[in-house]
Amino acid sequence: MKKVIVVGSGAGGATVAKELQGKFDVTILEAGKEFHPFSLKLPTLETLKKTGLLFDEREIQLFFPPMRIRKVEEMILVNGVGLGGTTTLCTGNALRMDEALKALGINLDDEFAEIYREIPITTEHQKRWRNTTRRLFEICQEMNLSPQPTPKMGNYVRCIHCGRCVLGCSHGVKWDSRQYLEIALAGGAQLVTGCRVERVVVKDGRVTGVQAKKGWVRKFYPADFVILTAGGLATPVILQNSGIACEQKLFVDPVLCVATQWNESQQYEEIPMPFVVQKEHFILSPYFDYLSFFFNRAWKYPARDILSLMIKLADANMGSISDNRIRKTLTAQDKERLNEGVELCKEILHRLGAKEESIFLGTINAGHPGGMLPLTEQEAESFHHSRLPENLYIADATLFPNSLGNPPILTIIAMAKRVSKILKNPFSPRKRVFGEGNPSSGI
Ligand SMILES: Cc1cc2nc3c(=O)[nH]c(=O)nc-3n(C[C@H](O)[C@H](O)[C@H](O)COP(=O)(O)OP(=O)(O)OC[C@H]3O[C@@H](n4cnc5c(N)ncnc54)[C@H](O)[C@@H]3O)c2cc1C
Ligand code: SF4
């Protein structure tokens, strides 16, 4: 059986591993380790905060290693490192967001239908919203903002609304990609953790495997096919280390929270992002921002007395990663759109009764990176960029043509399913994969 190496075990990686195991001999190389939810309780953290020792967002990694934090010019970037990738930190939002792919002529209806059969998706949580959430929802309705309860991945009948989704769900409610990973492993896939892939090794135009570091040891893992799913920040680094140039089109979906002091709102014990307002260039959603609460001095009130709305922006795809250094600034237009969001959030909070002087902002943070080797119409069938050796694929947000400004997991899974189908059926009309008329390079 041909060997496939999958790099990463997040949304994209776990999907291709599950889809390909059986037809291929799959090995998943994952830089991180087993994921465990953050265990410290809020009172302990509030005590720690009072000591003044929490001043840099990167400190969170000392307490919670699966959450990787990087600081770039104007914002912090967040991603997950460990089994399940960033899906273990997600708030469970499950939205289909493939308009830009449709515009390229890519129809993922079948893949989304599969996802809806495999992953439970529900708005059940709405029945147990806190009063403040209900009131915010009503205000958004009154303002004709068409708020929609957010579909969530998982079994939310058991959700206790602890509000800690981004710290990992200790109650087994939230779906994350480890569930697909388990299926792949049960089918015989191999998993190597603590294994950081540095580059793909290319010989005579074909990938022969990957070079990775496990602990201090550098090792070569041979493969017939390699699929990069290390996420929107790491996949471009692996490509560039391998001599494959990327586009300087990084987007990240920056998030800015607009908060107010609101006695006993207890939003930190509400499900995060219970509903969403879709605007042209951003979304709004209630969200208690732990990073701002711990590290931003403006967030000086007790957690139970803070109420916050998130703006998630579809930012310009202008940013780069080179020599492992990320460059990402907000354009004038990004800032203008964020300001528009801030004014709208303030209007909602004012209608609730918040005073202008009680409103404060959070720290800009972002966790949906992608776009550095975007699909174009030319790759709509093959999902394979001409810059890549014929047996190297990508199946993560690196392929997105532009920022979604919206939760990307479902769409990444759908793309990863399509890539898997292309590999499984190399001679289907969709193909153009292994070179027409060159079956010896196929499976
Ligand atoms: C706080 C937060 C909340 C979010 N909430 C939502 C949500 O509710 N809904 C939604 O749709 N999206 C959400 N997202 C975004 C979503 O989680 C990510 O966009 C998605 O998980 C990306 O999938 P991926 O497979 O591309 O990468 P990831 O899920 O990040 O997985 C990449 C994996 O590759 C591994 N890796 C990295 N480099 C290497 C290497 N060199 N070698 C080997 N392994 C490597 C990493 O350890 C990781 O396990 C959220 C993001 C954040 C930060
Ligand atoms: S609110 Fe708590 S129980 Fe519910 S999904 Fe999130 S972490 Fe799990």
In this predicted structure, the answer to whether residue 299 has a pLDDT above a threshold of 90 is yes
Cβ contacts of residue 104 below 8 Å, gap of 6+? 375, 376, 377, 380, 401
Q: Residue 342, exposed/middle/buried by CB under 10 A (0-12, 13-18, 19+)?
A: middle
The per-residue pLDDT of the chain, averaged, comes to 94
Q: Which two tokens stand for residue 292?
A: 């701002």
Reported as a single tens digit per residue, the pLDDT across 146-185 is 999 999 999 999 999 999 999 999 999 999 999 999 999 9
CA–centroid distance, 193 to ligand 2, in Å, is: 26
Q: What is the 407 CA–ligand 1 centroid distance (Å)?
A: 11
Residues with CB under 6 A from ligand 1: 7-13, 29-32, 78-82, 85-87, 89-93, 166, 196-197, 229-231, 234, 238, 367-368, 396-397, 407-409, 412
Compute the distance between CA of residue 136 and CA of residue 130 in angstroms, rounded to an integer.
Answer: 10
Rounded mean pLDDT, 329-350: 97
Using CA atoms, how far apart are residues 220 and 200, in angstroms rounded to an integer?
A: 9
The pLDDT, as a whole number, for residue 213 is 97
Which residue from 241, 345, 243 is spatially nearest to 284, judged by alpha carbons? 345
34 alpha carbon, distance to own chain's centre: 18
Assess whether pLDDT exceeds 70 at residue 434: no
Mean pLDDT computed over 385-389: 94
Q: How confident is the model at residue 437 (pLDDT cuts 50, 70, 90)?
A: very low
Q: Residue 272: name the closest of 255, 289, 257 by CA.
A: 289
Give the whole-number percent of the chain exceeding pLDDT 90. Answer: 89
CB atoms inside a 10 Å sphere around CB 243: 10
What's the pLDDT tens digit per position in 273-282?
999 999 999 9
Tokens of 73: 């010019």
Give dist(CA 373, CA 389) in Å, integer. 14
Give the per-residue pLDDT at 73: 86
Predicted confidence (pLDDT) per residue in 308-323, tens digit:
999 999 999 999 998 8
Q: Given pLDDT bands bounded at 50, 70 and 90, which one contains residue 258?
A: very high
Expressed in angstroms, the distance from the first to the final Cα of the chain is 9
With a CB cutoff of 8 Å and minimum separation 6, the contacts of 307 are 132, 259, 260, 261, 262, 265, 267, 286, 349, 352, 354
